Structure 1
Amino acid sequence: MLSIRPVLKSELFAVYQLEQAIFGDHCYPDFFFRQGFDCWPEQFLVAVDEENQVQGYLLSAQSSDPLCMWILSVAVSESTRGKGLGRRLIQKCLAELPVSVERVCLTVEPSNPAHGLYQHLGFIDSAFEADYFGAGADRVVMSYRKP
């Protein structure tokens, strides 16, 4: 059984390793996770197995608009994909939104199967931006409104 909880400082390197494995050359650098831990500890979730090995994570952050948060990254290990872990991470994030937050945004590569998951969870496509992360790195911007 996997449990979801806030990340521990001792797990940041494992999160970075997962990030590298999933996103390759397009991953966040290792120091970003330390900064995320310092800046947004309540919005930095990990999913760990029975041996406390990181199997997934979600990092979100408050935007400059106090009504809006952004999910910056979600990653699930290859070995746990297809078992609902990404869904559970996002649901936990949405269930624990600060009271002031009314909207959550994220971006996704148009061909990423997670696009359908996000739609199923209530996110809607709000924009398409070509070259969002540079040449050829198109993204769909999605938003979720808190009920």
Structure 2
Amino acid sequence: MTILRMDNVGIVVEDLAAAKAFFVELGLEVLGEQTVEGEWVDRVVGLEGVRCDIAMLATPDGHGRIELMRFHAPTAREGDPHAPANTLGIRRIAFAVDDIDATVAGLKARGTELIGGVERYEDSYRLCYVRGPEGIMLMLAEQLG
């Protein structure tokens, strides 16, 4: 048994349009959108009566994907959109960017919060954490040199 690749990261959101716009602003491309429902979905996710809108997005290189999910039924459970970086569970997604200052400025202009600051790690990277809609936390990394 061998894993072939990581296929995607799923993120449950309340406002699908806002989350999609956030990732498109970062440079991801919408690959498709659809609604899924029926017994097969119920069996896969272990819930009953699932009706879910999904949007699949891909990174510019085509290797990374994010699946945004808006559950109409059953109702999504509330999370903590202000959870700090050390909260147990999946906490953030990291993206390599070509210009961290321009990326952060563009995101801040659209309401994204810079969590700490943009910091340098040795002579390798400039890094920061940002929080987007519904508490989605990202790490941005610009490789130096």
Relative contact order, CA 8 A, sep 6+: which one is greater? 2
> Is this a same-fold pair by TM over 0.5?
no
The structure with the greater share of residues assigned to strand is 2
TM-score by length of 2: 0.31
The structure with the greater share of residues assigned to helix is 1
TM-score by length of 1: 0.31
